[in-house]
Amino acid sequence: MALQGPFFGKRDEPTPPRTPGVSTLGGTSSLGSAGSPGAAAQPFSAPVNAPAATPVAPATPAVPESGAKLTVGPNIKLKGVEITDCDTLLVEGMVEATVNSRVIQISEPGSFKGSAEIDIAEVHGVFDGNLTVRQKLVIFATGKVTGKVRYGKIVIEEGGQISGDITFGTSGDKPATSGASGAKGEQLAV
């Protein structure tokens, strides 16, 4: 039997008004149906006015996760494929592929080699190849990105690395080279 309280979900019912001198733990009077104390003992329930537990936010940045998600687990190698119609690609192993997705997350032991067109990219591991990030590229302290990189917005955590042909803007109209590392082969370590 599973007990439910304010710590395991939200209450859907309004709390009944309290009557002075009558306990309402468990939703019934402690006097029970016979009118004597303890005649119908109810299992313990949290007090009516107890605050609900506040959920703890995850340590990683908030990336909306919905739809199709592909996870390449640790020690898994995925080679020579084209990944399409994937909302979120989580790389914990090694991937050599072409990807057109909404979100890519490369964990610290993970590595990606190939070409990717992404809305949001989070790199804790290694990316090597052609990367086009339409919205936001985040390189964490353990992350390393090399190759031809195009981005809309970029965040590089202290210790993160990026090198290669780095260009602001994802359209082919008039790309402006970023001042920090625009030359080929130049290394930017923050």
Determine the Cα–Cα distance for residues 186 and 183; give it in Å rounded to an integer. 6
Residue 129 pLDDT: 97
Which residue type sits at 104? I
Please report, in tens digits, the pLDDT of each residue of the chain (190 residues total): 455 555 555 555 555 555 555 544 444 444 444 444 444 445 545 455 544 554 444 444 444 556 889 999 999 999 999 998 899 999 999 999 999 999 999 999 999 999 999 999 999 999 999 999 999 999 999 999 999 999 999 999 999 999 999 999 876 544 444 444 433 334 444 4
Determine the Cα–Cα distance for residues 81 and 97; give it in Å rounded to an integer. 5
Residue 178 pLDDT: 45
Residue 21 pLDDT: 53
| Nearest residue to 81 (alpha-carbon basis) of 112, 126, 121, 36 | 112
Residue 85 pLDDT: 87
